[in-house]
Chain A
Amino acid sequence: MSAYSVTEPSKVSKWVAGLLVTLYAIITLLPLVWIISTSFKTGPDSISYPPKVFFEPTVEGYVNLFTTRTRPAVSELDTLPPPDGLMEEIARRQGTIITGPSRFAERFLNSVIIGFGSTALSIILGTLAAYAFSRFKVPLKDDLLFFILSTRMMPPIAVAIPIYLMYRELGLSDTHVGMILLYTAVNISLAVWLLKGFIDEIPREYEEAALIDGYTRFQAFRKVVLPQAATGIASTAIFCLIFAWNEYAFAVLLTSGNAQTAPPFIPTIIGVGGQDWPAVAAGATLFLLPVMIFTILLRKHLLRGITFGAVRK
């Protein structure tokens, strides 16, 4: 029962709106285009001025991202046997030989484990907490909710030193579990507040009907509330993942080897003889993909909106 009336916008206003949206899209997409195009440039192309808009694409950046290389003397290079495989061939073209894999794949995997792990944990805990706050009489409910939100009122990095010391004592420094817990702690406030909003919107009658239909409260939660909260859960998950995925400060401080994520690793990619910008750009480009895919997969839920149609208001 929507109560708004729509007047067909005039042609001019449509044009103006279209123009503004296009402009906005160009401004926001430009850095992305820059990064992605740089990832396909050669080293010299990437730093040429004026920047090259048209260039011959190469995957040098990607090869360099995944390998470590040395630059032997030219005379030595000539004496080597012919290159073995495409990667080697691309390395040779730059006058280098591959000495081994880089740590990018490892760091990327760490990001996936920590990012998705903390997102899953935030969502599970957040949904349960939000449901309890939404449906039950919790003593000091408003104060608790405020307290949960208040953890967001300072920059997380403000507590970096205590956390660093705590983690060192607890043996959580540079571990996957430690990072998952930390990101979950930061995300949980967002998750509880967002999800409580979504669950508040789901009429209680559904659960009451399910309780009478022979289900326990938890079964009703699982079969009736969760499917209807899917939209909210999906959008909350995207926000949580984006934070955990992009987090840099804690990652720099608390991880170094074992559990280091991609964000602190990418800027440290140093080529043979100077900063390897195409490799850095390639790392950034690949780093974008999981969040992009995750968002596209969940887009259906974001767009669908919540259906309230089956309860008479």
Chain B
Amino acid sequence: MAEVILSGLSKSYGATQALQGVSMTIPDGAFVVLLGPTGAGKTTILRLIAGLDRPDSGDVRIDDHSVMQDTPAQRDVAMVFQQYSLYPHLTVRDNLAFPLRSPIIAMPQAEIAKRVAEVAEVLRIPHKLDNKATALSGGEMQRVSIGRALVRNPRIYLMDEPLSSLDAKLRADLRIELKRIHADMGATFLYVTHDQIEAMTMATHVGVLDRGKLVQFGTPRDIYENPVSTYVAARLGQPHINLLPAAAFPGAPSTATQIGLRPEHIHVGDGQDATIQRVEHLGDQTRLHLTIGHYSLITLTQPHTALKPGETLKIRPHNPLWFDASGNRI
């Protein structure tokens, strides 16, 4: 439990510039989610905080103390790797106990057993405790890997897509479980994901990375409603934000070249004619695929809509997002 401050972190691997001057404050007790496509530098940030790699320049401070000279063990962080990295020669029980047996923690045996049992319960793997780590399914390995972080009480939890290979039900359950741990223990999390539901439901703050740069940092709401660029706007939202040339609709500001329309920015009833191409019933929502002139866009409508492909309706933008030629918000 601690505040983590990154200032001016840069790191390159060979010719690849992985991070360029990333500064970010992860407040004590925050749940920070990092978003960005593969190669944006999300994992690099985790590795620099953990001490697995050294930045070329910049500083990492935990609890107002620079950890640049500290070993990973001294930094007292827990990390869940994207590759589960369970120790293959150990059982699940020994994998979970491994951090607690470290010379730094060296917890008494009885207490280790208790902690391991608790965590196994939370992750629903008590019946697998005596299995070899290699004799597990992908989802079980991932849970053990999360468990190895949860047995500890570190200053910050670093998680690299920890729920990515779980089935939908388990993912939803563990999402709530992690959120509960965050709330109950006041723990600080830095969490990498591609999943927008995870980002929106768990995060107190979202950081969006683009090719090694932090392009926006704020609350999930803020990132969703006030993206600074088309790049950030495209990171969140189901269905995806519609990006069309500004000329498709009247009323564009003079410098605007693109208009960004989320479903809530599309008012139905008056405006321009749009033709329905396809109606997708997803159960809780229904997606309409529309064409307006040469452009196609997707919006939402009532789950039980009577609309059919081929019909036309009138739409107009309502408080849309405008972007200039370089993709920045106006």
Partner-B contacts on A (CB < 8 A): 203, 205-206, 208-216, 219, 224, 227-228, 307-313
**Does B103 contact A219, Cβ atoms closer than 8 Å?**
yes
**Does A213 contact B99, Cβ atoms closer than 8 Å?**
yes
A310-B133, A310-B134 given; 18 more Cβ-contact pairs under 8 Å = A205-B83, A208-B52, A208-B72, A208-B81, A210-B98, A211-B71, A212-B51, A212-B79, A213-B148, A214-B99, A215-B103, A216-B73, A228-B88, A310-B86, A311-B88, A312-B83, A312-B141, A313-B83
How far is A308 from B148 in the complex, measured between Cα atoms in Å? 19
Specify which of B78, B103, B136, B165 is in contact with A212 (CB 8 Å cutoff). B78
Residues from chain A with a CB closer than 8 A to the CB of B231 are: none
Can you list 24 residue pairs at the A/B interface with Cβ under 8 Å? Answer: A205-B85, A206-B85, A208-B52, A211-B52, A212-B78, A214-B99, A214-B102, A214-B103, A215-B73, A215-B102, A215-B103, A216-B71, A216-B73, A219-B102, A219-B103, A227-B89, A228-B89, A307-B134, A309-B135, A310-B85, A310-B86, A311-B83, A311-B84, A312-B82
Question: Top 10 closest A-B pairs, CB basis?
Answer: A214-B102, A309-B134, A205-B85, A213-B99, A214-B104, A310-B86, A211-B72, A310-B88, A227-B89, A209-B85
Residues from chain B with a CB closer than 8 A to the CB of A214 are: 73, 99, 102-105
**Does B102 contact A213, Cβ atoms closer than 8 Å?**
yes
How far is A206 from B148 in the complex, measured between Cα atoms in Å? 13
How far is A110 from B143 in the complex, measured between Cα atoms in Å? 54
Residue of B with least CB distance to A306 = B88
Q: What is the minimal beta-carbon distance from A213 to any residue of chain B, in angstroms?
A: 4
**Residues 130-182 of B at the A interface (beta carbon under 8 Å):** 133-136, 138, 141, 148, 165
Q: What is the minimal beta-carbon distance from A253 to any residue of chain B, in angstroms?
A: 44
**Residues 105-148 of B at the A interface (beta carbon under 8 Å):** 105, 133-136, 138, 141, 148
Q: What is the minimal beta-carbon distance from B46 to any residue of chain A, in angstroms?
A: 10
Residues from chain A with a CB closer than 8 A to the CB of B134 are: 307, 309-310
Residue of A with least CB distance to B74 = A214
**Does A312 contact B99, Cβ atoms closer than 8 Å?**
no
Of listed A206, A209, A216, A219, residue having the most chain B CB within 10 A: A209
Interface status of B224 (Cβ within 8 A of chain A): no
**Does B102 contact A209, Cβ atoms closer than 8 Å?**
no
Interface status of B19 (Cβ within 8 A of chain A): no
**Does B87 contact A212, Cβ atoms closer than 8 Å?**
no
**Does B99 contact A205, Cβ atoms closer than 8 Å?**
no
Residue of A with least CB distance to B75 = A212
Interface status of B77 (Cβ within 8 A of chain A): yes
Q: What is the minimal beta-carbon distance from A193 to any residue of chain B, in angstroms?
A: 24
Interface status of B50 (Cβ within 8 A of chain A): yes
**Does B83 contact A213, Cβ atoms closer than 8 Å?**
no
Residues from chain A with a CB closer than 8 A to the CB of B72 are: 208, 211-212
**Does A308 contact B102, Cβ atoms closer than 8 Å?**
no
Residues from chain A with a CB closer than 8 A to the CB of B73 are: 211-216
Of listed A208, A227, A308, residue having the most chain B CB within 10 A: A208
How far is A313 from B82 in the complex, measured between Cα atoms in Å? 10
Residues from chain B with a CB closer than 8 A to the CB of A208 are: 50, 52, 72, 81, 85
**Does A205 contact B88, Cβ atoms closer than 8 Å?**
no
How far is A209 from B138 in the complex, measured between Cα atoms in Å? 18
Specify which of B51, B105, B138 is in contact with A312 (CB 8 Å cutoff). B138
Specify which of B81, B89, B104 is in contact with A209 (CB 8 Å cutoff). B81
Residues from chain A with a CB closer than 8 A to the CB of B99 are: 213-214
Residues from chain A with a CB closer than 8 A to the CB of B83 are: 203, 205, 311-313
How far is A138 from B52 in the complex, measured between Cα atoms in Å? 18
Residues from chain B with a CB closer than 8 A to the CB of A212 are: 50-52, 72-73, 77-79
Q: What is the minimal beta-carbon distance from B144 to any residue of chain A, in angstroms?
A: 9
Residues from chain B with a CB closer than 8 A to the CB of A216 are: 71, 73, 103
**Does B88 contact A308, Cβ atoms closer than 8 Å?**
yes
Q: What is the minimal beta-carbon distance from B244 to any residue of chain A, in angstroms?
A: 39
Q: What is the minimal beta-carbon distance from A166 to any residue of chain B, in angstroms?
A: 43
Q: What is the minimal beta-carbon distance from A2 to any residue of chain B, in angstroms?
A: 15
Q: What is the minimal beta-carbon distance from B173 to any residue of chain A, in angstroms?
A: 21
Residues from chain A with a CB closer than 8 A to the CB of B81 are: 205, 208-209
Residue of B with least CB distance to A311 = B83
**Does B148 contact A209, Cβ atoms closer than 8 Å?**
yes
Chain B 55-74 per-residue mask, 1 if CB under 8 angstroms from chain A, else 0:
00000000000000001110
How far is A51 from B219 in the complex, measured between Cα atoms in Å? 92
How far is A203 from B134 in the complex, measured between Cα atoms in Å? 14
